[in-house]
Chain A
């Protein structure tokens, strides 16, 4: 019997209510103040963010139609559809009567307006349903009062309240009465078997606008008098602006002004093209400070791994004595490059800074933090800021960082004009907050056919694994266990990239388990199941993964993916990983085409608890898996004297449709609280693929990207 490990507590204390709506109706909001445990951690340590609060609004019109304001930024993870589904379920209205609107930044009433860490659904599960249930309760009370009966004798379903005599009132009929009632203490939530919306496919609420090309994204935003800015930034990390000459830039038709701010120069123009052309015509001289190359990073990370300066992040038993008593010891080092995010919509932001107000509009995963940041740099009060969020053409972590919004605000402030900053693709790739280059060295002791010690060292650029990652599997499964980390401080900016750290850690560990399995001559899936048998769920508070749930997930993937029963010339690889509160297992099938791996199929099993919106959930899993395969296979981002070697898609390779496997997704069925899916599908993919390549070629993929291990002329594995 699998039990839930972590529950959120909920209190009505933060409920707010407004009945004075223009045009009538009720506006109900719930504050998630107590919804999150103290242990709920953001994906990265982003200063100035308040992650402890979280909420949403519903508005019921007199015609019974419902508008749900989705508070969280939409980056393609589907929360603009799935979060309102939770409210609509308990409010009990037909999904067709619901309109979803993106809420703006409202630091008074909304908080944790963040897209990050795959946490939106997990944190919203109880409070959003409570919001709907409490509103339903108030509507029932209003109807009961009108009928002069006891509320408990009435029921509500599909937007209609019915009493024992069979009389009916629509929500819209009683909404104005309901708005005057006190907010009830609590409301009873539905039994999952009675769900009508949760668990059914709901198509992306913006799909019609997307397929007909209507304005939705930051880049589509326009305002009266708005000008466009293209920014020249130092071409290399470690450079500062020495001098610049704008005379040629100013001759470009449509260019209005050229403005220096910090080490950057903005060309302001009447349209995007003139701004970009003007920037091309700028000439600048740069001062060099420290200019780092990939070879330097390599040497620094190797020095960390070979040295002794580590921070111990978890230590169980005594790894050293286990190593000295071992029958055999395996040690491997895994290496990954920096990676840019490459959101399809390049970074952009609108700002109109006036003496009275600061108006900001654009694609941002962290609206609250960004508003705070801009208030700080402009030395203004945060209350003067109005921030609107647009749909985002991808996030992947890049839009957690508001550098582009800050640029827009600074330029608008300097030029006294409403400004939209638009990055070119080259700007976007060269001024990134990259996934840091990381190396893992893992060492295992084997004795009597068992793993007796596991020692992992992480050497990373700038920062190390965060939160509970040191307590992920195999923590708890191996008696003598140690995780240590060290970092090298570089001037290259790094940050969160879809499934931070685990996007590479999972590859390293899941590859390593295959090596252990080979050494012990046991099936790799069995090795993982045996290790999980050593874990007692709930014994260690820091261990969030559930061995029982992971075993179910592994079994499902192995069964559906025909593990061990591959067709002739098909080679399989396996990986299983827990991250972002979701358990995932994957079987990758590849073939060799002229010696070159072709990924044919990935079978995925996922335990994310109740699947709120199956169509959206499957889309997230498929995308995460293919993203993981694509970056493991092709993603490479190197520096030469501080300058990225690739700045556009001619030189940086992203996976394309003809390289894409078929992904089959299966969910473990249970009634446990749902968890997120934006990230967890990705981490196991690279490891499962690496293991399949080894099965096919005998070669170990110790470094990413894998394509570097193949000679693309002869398509043979490099010896």
Chain B
């Protein structure tokens, strides 16, 4: 099958599905078509980070962590269906320490782990990621305040802005905006009701 055909249709289908599910569940977040520009900018700034491989690589949809800008599979995935976090035999934190090890080119931050299954973002659109992030069923029953705190204070999340060096000594790629801009955008977005614009 022609791949461009797939590329065109899959997102359309996904968005349509997402739209229906948002409307079909009372109390969840309904995408709106009109937002003020500041909110939209804040949302897009925030999502440019959250949908970046630095974040999505550890929110896989297939139990296999990814790495790099290409999202290539990283060995030692989640251990089948038996556990929700990392590989039983070898924890993520066995290698990923509290801080980056720039000699070995090993990224590190506190409590390094895969996101739980319910937080799988890989393959989702920005709106779907945002919706999933806000959905208490998927986010570990977190409130807006909890998520705001997680996004702006958690050292593992903020590691994305200090991702250290590759084993060959070259710097690991960073998200497109700075840490300060990201934090400011997250705060504005939540302050204004965490509305997800329609894509």
Residues of A within 8 A of B (CB): 276-277, 280, 426, 647-648, 650-651, 656, 711-714, 716, 718-719
Whole-angstrom distance between the alpha carbons of A656 and B3 in the complex? Answer: 29
Interface of B, helix, strand, loop or mixed by DSSP: loop
Name the one of A650, A712, A719 contacting B3, with C-beta atoms under 8 angstroms. A719
Residues of B within 8 A of A (CB): 1-3, 6, 67, 71-75, 103, 105, 123, 166-168
Whole-angstrom distance between the alpha carbons of A647 and B168 in the complex? Answer: 7
Instruction: Decide: B73 and A711 in contact? CB cutoff 8 A.
Output: no
Cβ distance B69 to chain A, nearest Cβ, rounded Å: 12
Instruction: Decide: A426 and B167 in contact? CB cutoff 8 A.
Output: yes
Cβ distance B125 to chain A, nearest Cβ, rounded Å: 14
Interface of A, helix, strand, loop or mixed by DSSP: loop
Contacts A277-B103, A650-B67, A719-B3 given; indicate if A712 touches B167 (C-beta within 8 A): no
Instruction: Decide: B123 and A650 in contact? CB cutoff 8 A.
Output: no
Q: Which of A277, A647, A718 is most buried by chain B, counting CB atoms within 10 A of its CB?
A: A647
Instruction: Decide: A713 and B71 in contact? CB cutoff 8 A.
Output: yes
Instruction: Decide: A650 and B1 in contact? CB cutoff 8 A.
Output: no
Instruction: Decide: A714 and B167 in contact? CB cutoff 8 A.
Output: no
Instruction: Decide: A280 and B167 in contact? CB cutoff 8 A.
Output: no
Could you say which residues of chain B place their CB within 8 Å of the CB of A718? Answer: 3
Q: Which 8 A-B pairs have the closest CB atoms?
A: A648-B167, A719-B3, A647-B168, A719-B2, A650-B167, A719-B1, A656-B75, A718-B3
Could you say which residues of chain A place their CB within 8 Å of the CB of B3? Answer: 711, 716, 718-719
Q: Which of A276, A647, A650, A713 is most buried by chain B, counting CB atoms within 10 A of its CB?
A: A650
Q: What would 6 more interface pairs be, CB under 8 Å, given A276-B103, A647-B167, A711-B3? A: A426-B167, A426-B168, A650-B67, A650-B105, A714-B6, A716-B3
Cβ distance B5 to chain A, nearest Cβ, rounded Å: 9
A sample of 11 cross-chain residue pairs with beta-carbon separation below 8 angstroms, ordered by A number, consists of A276-B103, A647-B167, A648-B105, A648-B167, A650-B74, A650-B166, A656-B75, A716-B1, A716-B6, A718-B3, A719-B2
Instruction: Decide: A712 and B123 in contact? CB cutoff 8 A.
Output: no
Specify the chain B residue showing the minimal Cβ separation from A718: B3
Q: Which of A276, A280, A719 is most buried by chain B, counting CB atoms within 10 A of its CB?
A: A719
Specify the chain B residue showing the minimal Cβ separation from A594: B62
Could you say which residues of chain A place their CB within 8 Å of the CB of B67? Answer: 650
Specify the chain A residue showing the minimal Cβ separation from B122: A713
Name the one of A651, A713, A716 contacting B123, with C-beta atoms under 8 angstroms. A713
Specify the chain A residue showing the minimal Cβ separation from B7: A714
Could you say which residues of chain A place their CB within 8 Å of the CB of B103? Answer: 276-277, 280
Whole-angstrom distance between the alpha carbons of A647 and B67 in the complex? Answer: 16
Instruction: Decide: A712 and B72 in contact? CB cutoff 8 A.
Output: yes
Could you say which residues of chain B place their CB within 8 Å of the CB of A651? Answer: 167
Specify the chain A residue showing the minimal Cβ separation from B102: A280
Could you say which residues of chain B place their CB within 8 Å of the CB of A650? Answer: 67, 74, 105, 166-167
Whole-angstrom distance between the alpha carbons of A651 and B72 in the complex? Answer: 9
Could you say which residues of chain A place their CB within 8 Å of the CB of B6? Answer: 714, 716
Specify the chain A residue showing the minimal Cβ separation from B103: A280
Whole-angstrom distance between the alpha carbons of A426 and B1 in the complex? Answer: 40
Could you say which residues of chain A place their CB within 8 Å of the CB of B1? Answer: 716, 719
Whole-angstrom distance between the alpha carbons of A142 and B93 in the complex? Answer: 68
Cβ distance B139 to chain A, nearest Cβ, rounded Å: 24
Whole-angstrom distance between the alpha carbons of A272 and B103 in the complex? Answer: 14
Whole-angstrom distance between the alpha carbons of A682 and B62 in the complex? Answer: 31
Cβ distance B168 to chain A, nearest Cβ, rounded Å: 5
